[in-house]
Structure 1
């Protein structure tokens, strides 16, 4: 568990029994973003139940609830690579009723503090999620490093299910001030 005491944001590891509620909260948050962009809801949940199961149970996957004053207000799924220290922010959400309160930024800072050996983080977001793009670039310090589209397709389209036209951005945040880790002794 990691706490940002001054701001009451706590990251609590999710247990297997929590994943159904976590999944529902994440899908609701993603659906709200989709509806805001397109005026309608997608036909099925995004990400799909099967896709979320893959994220939750992938090698190196870690899932946290974002808590504020004892209430679950979001969550995050990471993939931590202890060999390369190039980690992935796979899924990140703050429940719609809690947007604009700095919770996401505080949770991100707490995650960075939890993984100080990280050399680089990678994440993705659909092109229409302007709130996400603003958050990753302007609040968290990520850089857009790739734009997947018809002329430059995503090499892993199965992980971007539910994105119209398959258009999305890949972001990276590298820490130039951190020395490369060596597993050799």
Structure 2
């Protein structure tokens, strides 16, 4: 499994949107029974253009054996309290241990990190399993716990 990271650029947005749309739509289909769903702009490039190309973000295209399979948006801070803004891979590559390997490599890329934080939709049980059971995050708070579509789990992983 040869995973590589390449700096996300404007020319990558079109390809990444297709992957992001498939990933978020798949999650909405299996957890909500809806054909489509994701954060605003996930399906037209505005999400990735706004956040992935933000000058303060550290964003990567993710390749497996030289095939683009996903992307990630990280917020690396001087305090070494970092934030995972987004991590997505094409559904064809899910449930194969690739995401766990990607996360491990991200952690290795930022060895001075004291803690990682992220959030994920309350409805996405697969994401909960990934972040908590595979990556070692802990749920520290639940936002809007009664709202299946707007609620989210706030997660944190302290690095020892």
In the comparison of the two structures, how many residue pairs are matched? 157
Q: What is the alpha-carbon distance in structure 2 between the residues aligned to residue 139 and residue 148 of structure 1?
A: 22
Of the three residues 134, 143, 151, the one matched with 1:148 is 143
Determine if contact 1:27/1:46 at 8 Å carries over to the other structure.
no
Of the three residues 86, 91, 100, the one matched with 1:91 is 86
Determine if contact 1:144/1:170 at 8 Å carries over to the other structure.
yes
Q: How far is 1:86 from its partner?
A: 1.1
Given the two structures, how large is their TM-score scaled by the length of structure 2? Answer: 0.88
Ranges of 4+ aligned residues in structure 1 off by more than 3 Å: 44-47, 49-52
SS of equivalent residue, structure 1 residue 60:
coil
SS of equivalent residue, structure 1 residue 128:
coil
Aligned counterpart, 2:152: 168
Question: Which of structures 1 and 2 has the bigger CA Rg?
Answer: 1
Aligned counterpart, 2:9: 15
Q: Unaligned stretches of 5+ in structure 1? A: 1-6, 154-162, 178-185
Q: How far is 1:53 from its partner?
A: 2.6
1:25-56 Cα shifts (integer Å, max 9, x gaps): 112211110011122223x7644143333212
Q: What is the alpha-carbon distance in structure 2 between the residues aligned to residue 123 and residue 10 of structure 1?
A: 22
Aligned counterpart, 2:29: 35
- Map residues 88-127 of structure 1 onto 2, 5 A cutoff: 88-127=83-122
Cα RMSD between the aligned structures?
Answer: 2.0
